[in-house]
Structure 1
Amino acid sequence: MSQVPEAPSRRDFVKKSTLAAASFFIVPRFVLGGKGYTAPSDQLLVAGIGVGGKGESDIAMFAKTGKARIAFLCDVDDRRAANSRKAFPQAKYYKDWRKMLEKEHKHIDAVSVSTPDHNHAMPALAAMQMGKHVYVQKPLTHDIAEARALTDAAKRYPKVVTQMGNQGSSNDGVRQLMEWYDAGTIGDVHTVYCWTDRPVWPQGIAWPTTTATPPAELDWDLWLGTAPKRDYVDHLIPFNWRGWWPYGTGALGDMGCHLMEAPFRVLDLEYANAVQASVGSVYVDEFKRGYFPESCPPSSHVTLTFPKTAKTKQDITMHWMDGGIQPERPDELGANELFGDGGNGILFIGDKGKMMASTYAENPRLLPLSRNQEVSVPQTLARVPGQANGHYGQWVEACLAGAGKTKLSSPFALAGPLTEALLMANLAVRGYDLQKPKAAGQGFDYPGRGRKLLWDNQQMRITNLDEVNQFVKRDYRTGW
């Protein structure tokens, strides 16, 4: 398989650029002055790539800080971009992020990426190579190789400020969990459960057989981006792409960064070394179970093994459950007491107690719940002003201050390994349903079922089932 392509360098962009060698005229603060006025030189010039849906709310939150100016907008779908274009009428609009970076790189300080998962890595990497700060929606990437590439890029370009869009990492909840654990409140954690009621979009289905003409406002080829060329279908946009492997990463990609982030922070987890999975089945008719290799399954249970860290005495087992599957209720939880937030949750099991939280690590609680009135530990960790909403301002402030000057909740040094963990889980999910033909007329075998997949972190490959390594790094479409 091909290497993850390197994006064009800044030198290449500059060489190709047709822009005149002119700079912005900055009006001094003392001329325009006034209480609360922010000089243009003190504003972060942000380019948004993918500005509908979550991208729309992301750039609105950057602008709300008063310290960021949305200077450029880029989206392949004029319909999705309409609200952002109305909100930021002075921002120049593009459909192709490559053209935008090539022509406007001199006038961009930072880039926000909120495209479908399969098109996260390339614009982010291109921007980093040009020295632009980057904010990338979760999951950071579509493939494990891409996640490692962005993690490494953050080391190669230390002046670039990075942040992933898992805003719950800025909540007080994860810091409260860390303080409880660091104080020894629940002892040594050996097992963690994360679960969600997602997906809330179709999964475990056949690819639609009826094609359609793309809407005039949509550049379908640009939407496909790195993915293989295929005919347009109405089913995918704006949301259902999440359930298809060429574009999305299923429930794990949607919710994993929100639920697995707290265990990563509390326990100092990094890279898993083994993974196994089981998945739910669907039936195409009354008697026949379906197999749809392009579609994520309707439910899954994945078990990841992490080596012990400086904060644990033993290896850690993390269970991921989606599609409504939940772990057994803890004995310490009353029969009518809410488990997680009902549909989603995080449970830490230590040798001296348990603690749980809801989505985004909100509402952290010790178990039994009576302990929350009995236990008090000192606050040792600084909180993020505004919590989840402050996640955006935290990045803006860090970009303006310069790399290394302020602390971030989800820099790529943390977001990269976290994303790799959920993509490793997906590796096992996809491996579980791999089909391998048996002898003629004897059907198919499923070589990934019933196996624990062993991961070589340095080589980035599964060592005991080579068939699944095809999902570690995909081939990009020609030109991408």
Structure 2
Amino acid sequence: MPAINHNSRRKFIRDASLSATGFFIVPRHVLGKGYIAPSDKLNIAGIGVGGKAEVNLPYAYNKGSDNIVALCDVDDRQAVNGRKKWPKAPYYKDFRQMFEKENKHIDAVIITTPDHMHAVMAMAAMQLGKHVYCEKPLTHGIYEARMLTQAAEKYKVVTQMGNQGSSGDDTRRIETWVQGGLIGDVHTVHVWTNRPTWPQGIPTPKGNFAIPKELDWDLWLGTAPKRDFNPGYLPAIWRGWVDWGTGSLGDMGCHFIDVPYRALKLKYPVAVETSVGSVYTGFFQEAIYPDSYPPSAKTHIQFPAREGMPAVEMIWYDGGIRPKRPVELLPDEEMGEEDGGIIFEGTKGKIMAGLFGRNPTLLPTRLMKETNLPSSKYEFVEGGTEGHQQQWVKACKKGYGAYTSSSFDKSGPLTETVLMGNLAVHSYNHFETDAKGNKKFNGRKQLLWDGENMKITNFEPANQFVKREYRAPWKL
């Protein structure tokens, strides 16, 4: 018989005593391989249960590695699948009631709602000390993005925006290639998307419709102005409406623009201008539908020199508009991919890529075989784009300061840049009044931006779109 280790025996008696009083947590190694102790699980609440949440919540839950402890959705129809998957999770329609009643059970929150509610939900969660995963775009407006960026630091919580491409291998490869000077100094970037794939540039729908009994329409409107319910707004069609969505830029800009934003170490832009597709109702009769984003747009965003890199122009195209085909691309070679693409133009060459920076390719394409491509200097994320949610979950367990690919200190400024395009779109059809009281159509000018102070310096009417007014009683 082996000798008795009295220190171990005393430790056993102490631990047994603690166990009897209910304070002993069994170590993971005692429970067996593959068992995850309750203390090692993150308790997650989901605000918005349908749509993209049907990806975010299961990826975070990870087959039971963590807990979904509460669910919230203003529309019971959207929540059906989530409530079936997690039947024990309490269900609420108002996220404020959920926080009030479930606060002590919640460690972290995943927000998957229309854009106009992201800011107030994320802010409320952070003020309670909850870690936050918020779908892209981070916010509906520029001011909101700045406030969330500052709040994440103030409340010391782990954050992540839902642009999963930021965790992808190809994003890191492009960063390495560009910053390593593979194509010289980049002076122009073209970014385009096939969105919108929903109605835009259309008149506000009319008619009287009963609100579905499953939907709390007033809660769905939230911070937005009061508007009568119309089935033409839901479920995902809200993206094209100014009150709730952020159009093609908000939907895809945070995916596509993120790649050059990182590779070129971009910060606040200094100028923006746009032109938008027209809608005609008759012979030379152009229609303006201010409630809806235009059917297409081309937007130029200027960035200053920074960190040894020269000034760069980013050009965004949506609604089917694309940049000129590079001369280096053969006639039968695909430009980008179905969702859109990215082209970096440098002093020594070009790089082309698709959504999330997929399939990064030197142009002409034969260079991919002729060039000794450097390995990524940035560490790959486990699981790549599909590990984006789990990366956040693991970081939450480590605590504030743990790395995430799209933490608010990175995704906040990115979102501000994306929304600069929408600011220009909103300003496009606005007039200003001169000293004599005459109205002057100046919306189609280049807007100069003071990023630190969040202010257009040469066209005051545009500043109304930096910070929107909330419907009472909502506040940020």
Q: Which amino acid aligns with 1:420?
A: E
Question: What is the DSSP-based 3-state SS (H/G/I as helix, E as strand, rest coil) of the residue aligned with 1:333?
Answer: coil
Does 2:395 align with 1:401? Answer: no
**1:46-85 correspondence runs (5 A):** 46-64=44-62, 66-85=64-83
| CA shift for structure 1 position 379 | 3.1
Does 2:465 align with 1:468? Answer: no
Does 2:243 align with 1:249? Answer: no
Partner of 2:295: 298
Does 2:175 align with 1:181? Answer: no
**1:97-108 correspondence runs (5 A):** 97-108=95-106
Deviation per CA, 1:121-175: give whole Å up to 9, x if none. Answer: 00101111111100000000000000000111122123x0000000011111111
Contact 2:48–2:111, Cα closer than 8 Å, also in 1: yes
User: Which one of the candidate residues 451, 455, 459 is aligned to 1:457?
Assistant: 451
Question: What is the DSSP-based 3-state SS (H/G/I as helix, E as strand, rest coil) of the residue aligned with 1:120?
Answer: helix
Contact 2:179–2:264, Cα closer than 8 Å, also in 1: no
Question: What is the DSSP-based 3-state SS (H/G/I as helix, E as strand, rest coil) of the residue aligned with 1:89?
Answer: coil
Tell me the distance in 2 between the aligned counterparts of 1:362 and 1:471. Answer: 33
Question: Kindly, what percent of the aligned residue pairs are identical?
Answer: 53
Greater mean alpha carbon deviation, residues 112-121 or residues 61-70 = 61-70
| CA shift for structure 1 position 215 | 0.3
Partner of 1:218: 215
Tell me the distance in 1 between the aligned counterparts of 2:358 and 2:308. Answer: 22
Partner of 1:39: 37
Tell me the distance in 2 between the aligned counterparts of 1:175 and 1:168. Answer: 10
Q: Which amino acid aligns with 2:324?
A: E
Partner of 2:9: none
Contact 1:188–1:350, Cα closer than 8 Å, also in 2: yes
Question: What is the DSSP-based 3-state SS (H/G/I as helix, E as strand, rest coil) of the residue aligned with 2:467?
Answer: coil
Question: What is the DSSP-based 3-state SS (H/G/I as helix, E as strand, rest coil) of the residue aligned with 1:283?
Answer: strand
Contact 1:65–1:393, Cα closer than 8 Å, also in 2: no
User: Which one of the candidate residues 379, 382, 396 is aligned to 1:385?
Assistant: 382
| CA shift for structure 1 position 183 | 2.2
User: Which one of the candidate residues 161, 164, 168 is aligned to 2:165?
Assistant: 168
Greater mean alpha carbon deviation, residues 339-348 or residues 319-328 = 339-348
Partner of 2:17: none
Does 2:317 align with 1:321? Answer: yes
User: Which one of the candidate residues 103, 107, 116 is aligned to 2:114?
Assistant: 116
User: Which one of the candidate residues 193, 198, 203 is aligned to 1:196?
Assistant: 193
Question: What is the DSSP-based 3-state SS (H/G/I as helix, E as strand, rest coil) of the residue aligned with 2:422?
Answer: helix
Greater mean alpha carbon deviation, residues 161-170 or residues 366-375 = 366-375
Tell me the distance in 2 between the aligned counterparts of 1:99 and 1:65. Answer: 28
Partner of 2:344: 348
Question: What is the DSSP-based 3-state SS (H/G/I as helix, E as strand, rest coil) of the residue aligned with 1:292?
Answer: coil
| CA shift for structure 1 position 287 | 4.2
Tell me the distance in 2 between the aligned counterparts of 1:251 and 1:32. Answer: 52
Tell me the distance in 1 between the aligned counterparts of 2:441 and 2:109. Answer: 42
Partner of 2:441: 446
Tell me the distance in 1 between the aligned counterparts of 2:338 and 2:419. Answer: 25
| CA shift for structure 1 position 27 | 6.1
Contact 2:28–2:37, Cα closer than 8 Å, also in 1: no
Contact 2:28–2:35, Cα closer than 8 Å, also in 1: no
Contact 2:126–2:151, Cα closer than 8 Å, also in 1: yes
Question: What is the DSSP-based 3-state SS (H/G/I as helix, E as strand, rest coil) of the residue aligned with 1:125?
Answer: helix
Tell me the distance in 1 between the aligned counterparts of 2:102 and 2:324. Answer: 54
Tell me the distance in 2 between the aligned counterparts of 1:62 and 1:198. Answer: 28
Partner of 1:16: none
Tell me the distance in 1 between the aligned counterparts of 2:468 and 2:415. Answer: 16
User: Which one of the candidate residues 454, 471, 477 is aligned to 2:471?
Assistant: 477
Tell me the distance in 2 between the aligned counterparts of 1:436 and 1:218. Answer: 41
Partner of 1:155: 153
Partner of 1:133: 131
What TM-score, normalized to structure 2? Answer: 0.91
| CA shift for structure 1 position 56 | 2.0
Question: What is the DSSP-based 3-state SS (H/G/I as helix, E as strand, rest coil) of the residue aligned with 1:284?
Answer: strand
| CA shift for structure 1 position 342 | 4.1
| CA shift for structure 1 position 286 | 4.2
Q: Which amino acid aligns with 2:416?
A: E
Tell me the distance in 2 between the aligned counterparts of 1:231 and 1:26. Answer: 55
Change (3 A) 1:402 1:31: closer
Partner of 2:16: none
Q: Which amino acid aligns with 2:331?
A: A
Displaced runs of 4 or more, over 4 A: 24-27, 29-32, 435-438
Question: What is the DSSP-based 3-state SS (H/G/I as helix, E as strand, rest coil) of the residue aligned with 1:254?
Answer: helix
Tell me the distance in 2 between the aligned counterparts of 1:286 and 1:308. Answer: 46
User: Which one of the candidate residues 396, 402, 417 is aligned to 1:421?
Assistant: 417
Contact 1:195–1:320, Cα closer than 8 Å, also in 2: yes
Contact 2:173–2:375, Cα closer than 8 Å, also in 1: no
Tell me the distance in 1 between the aligned counterparts of 2:172 and 2:206. Answer: 48
| CA shift for structure 1 position 32 | 8.7
| CA shift for structure 1 position 361 | 1.0
| CA shift for structure 1 position 386 | 1.1
Partner of 2:14: none
Tell me the distance in 2 between the aligned counterparts of 1:243 and 1:58. Answer: 23
Change (3 A) 1:368 1:65: farther
Partner of 1:308: 305
Change (3 A) 1:42 1:344: same
Partner of 2:273: 276
Q: Which amino acid aligns with 2:153?
A: K
Partner of 1:369: 365
Question: What is the DSSP-based 3-state SS (H/G/I as helix, E as strand, rest coil) of the residue aligned with 2:387?
Answer: helix
Tell me the distance in 1 between the aligned counterparts of 2:433 and 2:461. Answer: 13
| CA shift for structure 1 position 50 | 0.6
Count the aligned residue pairs: 449
* Structure 1 unmatched ranges of 5 or more: 1-23
| CA shift for structure 1 position 209 | 1.2
Contact 2:432–2:461, Cα closer than 8 Å, also in 1: no
Partner of 1:17: none
Deviation per CA, 1:301-348: give whole Å up to 9, x if none. Answer: 000011112151x21100000001001111111111111114400111
Q: Which amino acid aligns with 1:456?
A: D
| CA shift for structure 1 position 28 | 3.3
Change (3 A) 1:110 1:30: closer
Question: What is the DSSP-based 3-state SS (H/G/I as helix, E as strand, rest coil) of the residue aligned with 2:413?
Answer: helix
Greater mean alpha carbon deviation, residues 426-435 or residues 165-174 = 426-435
